[in-house]
Structure 1
């Protein structure tokens, strides 16, 4: 599992370690790891004679860049530093000059010929974008043919929130130290980070056991997924009830059921106006005319996809929320939930909005949610007392109360932005709820498998449909269980 920690936590861990190390030792560790990544990016045998430009700010990130530049200079690279802060790190600057590097007053000539640029302008404490004097230099670096490597964090992005409120320097690779920072995993900042490389500098034992952010990996998901035993039958494996679809949107019900049938529960009960379409596409579904409370026993409900805005939608959501089992609410169903209704439930609730729906639930603008995704998912989980899966370019999952670690989904593809893909995700997550997973785990695993399935369906480079995503879920499941 990848974990990320806040700036405050990282600084405390670094301070505790530095108290036991010689002065400057921690920076030298970071610089050594940074230089090693730069050597690998330049390629075997290409460090000697390569041209490296350091963009150096006043903070420790500038010191890391200078010490790494000194190491590259000692291996034969031509290293030029551009000083963009009020002062440069003294020991780092001395090391660079002693190794044969130099400082230039004309950054543009150096950048035009560079093979690699190290971005050490601002560090993890930076806020509000690049300073005006750094902007043209950053643009020149990005416009060059050089590989841009960010030191710990791309300059101009917020390490804790992932916000980008001004100009920032987009990196090809980010080399981060000790632990990931939340902004490296959450959009919009994630888009500026490029490929991530984590360098161990020894602060791990100083970090708290509970991180601010988590990203599941194959082995984590494999451990959580349900598996039938010798005594299992379809009812013991869990039954998911689905209330979805309408005369206008029957396909939403079909797609939600498709996701649910591939989600680990033993059976799926469907109730709603799209019964004929559902049974035609999925004859294994148990259909019922409704209402939900008459459909039969279930271990969880999923309600909302394609319900439309008719009066029956509110009634369906109200009836499902009255059930004493876990409930997932998505899409049109989210129009009919209130904090009071969710907080008053005795069983857990999982809300799965996209940014527009989250904005409506919070009473804010969609743009605000997209710019502050981490804050938005925490606020929703706190206000509604529910687990929240916030869909989007980076899918985030937060437990009720909004105080624990937020999980960020590392799988997926932009091709998932297609009609009906969210319906498949709802059925999949609901099925995992019915199979017995806790809402945080059900949502996280569903997002992970959904993303993997989309990658498979797209084969890396092509448009996909929601049906193709559902069809690829079985293979994604096998990828995780039997890599």
Structure 2
């Protein structure tokens, strides 16, 4: 599991550790890990041309000490000083190792093989300063590999916001723990490949603010039938979805639920003929939902249009996942009386409507938005998007960020499949946070699997996929997770 901590927490952990180690030890640990990572990115260190973009903070010091290590291995290292005052010890170490301060930053950047971005640190806010912008643009416009020190300059470490110009990195070497902004868009898109360097903060870090599940974590949560299982023990999920206008949404949600491990699916809605044609094992009912029969969880909303059913489902005493049309007009009051968990799964536009703000604001401040939604509505919230976030009800606690997926998942019906998978996991007994996080993870892997089948390579290029193909790939993604941890 990848864990991320806010700047305030990191600062406190660093202070606690620095009180127990020799002066400067943490910076040397960071510089050693940074230099090793840079060496790995260069075809060879000897003769390589390295440029350090050095601000006035500790990140600039990390870059200077790392540059000194590379200079001692034969690299030609030049520092471009952008801060009011460079780290004195680091600058002296660089010069002692044969490095230089560049007189013209653009000349050295044009010839660079690797650029270290140490302009601003984790305390930076509001984008790059005006004097750093042309240098950053020159670095990004060169043929050099750009490596960010701790996080890319110009992004917000705590929220992932990019409020101004930032330097996009090919790789980021971060220290002690991940920072939330490295895992959350839009900042995540600036970070490139991530590498964590252990500098000894572990014993001094409390519970994380953000975490990303990995295969082993998801495998431990995936439900598996036992010898005594029947369809009720595996979980029966009820689905209120689809309409005469949108029958496909019902089919996709039911498919997601069946592929997501449900023992049985009860369907209520006006797309029964389409659902039965696709999945004859489905148990259909004319409604209302309260009379459809026993379920362990409900999914309501995909393709529902103006059809009734949302209020009836919310009045139930089992977990409920609300998506798409089920979110329209939803109020905190409608959820206040519920005793069972509720999982809301909006995309950015739906989240904006629930918060009374703009889609652009939600996308720019995704972490803030998901916490506010969970607090205001008293429900667990899965905010869909380029980085899907899952926040516990109430808005406090650890937010889960999903590390899987592909841009090809931005296709009609993909969210309906996700709803079905999430509903099946709720019916199997997972908590709302676990159900949302695991559903997003498996759904993301299914998207990748389907995309690979359409010719998508590791770089993301290739042909589009459909929601039907994503749904068909869920079982394979499930098996991939299980098989990877055997």
| 1:454-479 CA-partner distances (Å, limit 9, x unpaired) | 00000033210000000000000001
Partner Cα distance (1:372, 1:96) in 2:
39
Tell me whether 1:217 sits opposite 2:214 in the alignment: yes
Which of 51, 55, 63 is the aligned partner of 1:65? 63
Match of 2:323 in 1: 330
Partner Cα distance (2:433, 2:145) in 1:
38
Tell me whether 1:468 sits opposite 2:465 in the alignment: no
SS in structure 1 opposite 2:160? coil
Partner Cα distance (2:45, 2:295) in 1:
63
Partner Cα distance (1:132, 1:235) in 2:
62
Partner Cα distance (2:126, 2:87) in 1:
23
Match of 1:341 in 2: 334
SS in structure 1 opposite 2:132? helix
Match of 1:266 in 2: 263
Match of 1:359 in 2: 352
Query: What displacement does 1:236 show?
Result: 1.4
Partner Cα distance (2:429, 2:21) in 1:
48
Query: What displacement does 1:336 show?
Result: 3.5
Match of 1:477 in 2: 478
Tell me whether 1:458 sits opposite 2:451 in the alignment: yes
The answer as to whether partners of 1:343 and 1:386 remain within 8 angstroms in 2 is no
Query: What displacement does 1:164 show?
Result: 0.2
Match of 1:25 in 2: 25
SS in structure 1 opposite 2:382? strand
| 1:130-179 CA-partner distances (Å, limit 9, x unpaired) | 00000000000000000000000000000000000000000000000000
Tell me whether 1:276 sits opposite 2:265 in the alignment: no
Partner Cα distance (2:83, 2:39) in 1:
26
Match of 1:168 in 2: 166
| TM-score with structure 1 setting the length | 0.98
Moved over 2 A (4+): none
Match of 2:143 in 1: 145
Tell me whether 1:292 sits opposite 2:289 in the alignment: yes
| TM-score with structure 2 setting the length | 0.97
Query: What displacement does 1:105 show?
Result: 2.2
SS in structure 2 opposite 1:133? coil
The answer as to whether partners of 1:254 and 1:277 remain within 8 angstroms in 2 is yes
Structure 2: 5+ residue stretches without partners: 457-461
Partner Cα distance (1:116, 1:339) in 2:
52
Query: What displacement does 1:181 show?
Result: 0.1
| 1:187-242 CA-partner distances (Å, limit 9, x unpaired) | 0000000000000001111101x100010000000000111111110111110000
Partner Cα distance (1:361, 1:34) in 2:
43
Tell me whether 1:437 sits opposite 2:438 in the alignment: no
| 1:237-275 CA-partner distances (Å, limit 9, x unpaired) | 110000000010000000000000011220000010000
Which of 376, 386, 392 is the aligned partner of 1:383? 376
Match of 1:244 in 2: 241
Match of 2:84 in 1: 86
Q: Alignment length, in residue pairs?
A: 476
| 1:72-131 CA-partner distances (Å, limit 9, x unpaired) | 000000000000000000000000000000001210000000000000000000000000
1:81-120 equivalences in 2 (<5 Å): 81-120=79-118
| 1:402-445 CA-partner distances (Å, limit 9, x unpaired) | 10000000000000000000000000000100011110000000
SS in structure 1 opposite 2:309? helix
Partner Cα distance (1:382, 1:21) in 2:
41
Query: What displacement does 1:22 show?
Result: 1.1
Match of 1:47 in 2: 45
Tell me whether 1:373 sits opposite 2:370 in the alignment: no
Tell me whether 1:35 sits opposite 2:32 in the alignment: no
Instruction: Please report the RMSD computed on the Cα atoms of aligned residues, expressed in angstroms.
Output: 0.6
| 1:316-356 CA-partner distances (Å, limit 9, x unpaired) | 10000001100000000101321011121011100000000
The answer as to whether partners of 1:382 and 1:402 remain within 8 angstroms in 2 is yes
Match of 1:16 in 2: 16
Partner Cα distance (1:76, 1:187) in 2:
37
SS in structure 2 opposite 1:296? coil
Match of 2:405 in 1: 412
SS in structure 2 opposite 1:230? coil
Partner Cα distance (1:251, 1:264) in 2:
20
Structure 1: 5+ residue stretches without partners: none
Partner Cα distance (1:403, 1:366) in 2:
23
Partner Cα distance (2:319, 2:274) in 1:
26
Query: What displacement does 1:284 show?
Result: 1.0
Which of 386, 391, 395 is the aligned partner of 1:402? 395
SS in structure 2 opposite 1:35? helix
